[in-house]
Amino acid sequence: MEEQGLTTAEGMVDRLGAPPAEVVERGVGGVAARTTLPLAPSGTFDELLSRRVTCRNFDTQRALSGGLLSHMLQRSVMASARVAVGHDTAFLKKPVPSGGRLHPTETYLLIQHVEDIPSGLYQPSDRPRTAALGPSA
Instruction: Report pLDDT digits (tens) over 18-53.
Output: 877 777 677 677 667 778 889 889 999 999 988 988
Q: What pLDDT, on the 0 to 100 scale, is given for residue 76?
A: 84
Sequence letter at residue 1: M
34 part of a folded domain:
no
Q: Which domain holds residue 44?
A: 9-19+39-135
How many separate domains does the chain show? 1
Among candidate residues 80, 85, 113, 116, the one with its CA nearest the CA of residue 95: 80
pLDDT at 86 over 90: no
User: Is 31 domain-assigned?
Assistant: no
Judge residue 70's burial from the number of C-beta atoms within 10 Å of its C-beta, 0-12 exposed, 13-18 middle, 19 or more buried: middle
Q: Is residue 122 part of a domain?
A: yes
- For residue 26, being part of any structural domain is answered with no
Predicted TM-score of the model (pTM): 0.55
- Residue 60's closest CA among 109, 123, 11, 119? 119
pLDDT at 101: 61
Q: Which pairs count as long-range contacts for 95-104, CB under 8 Å and 24+ apart, including other chains?
A: none
Other CB atoms within a 10 A radius of the CB of residue 121 amount to 12
Is residue 33 in a domain?
A: no
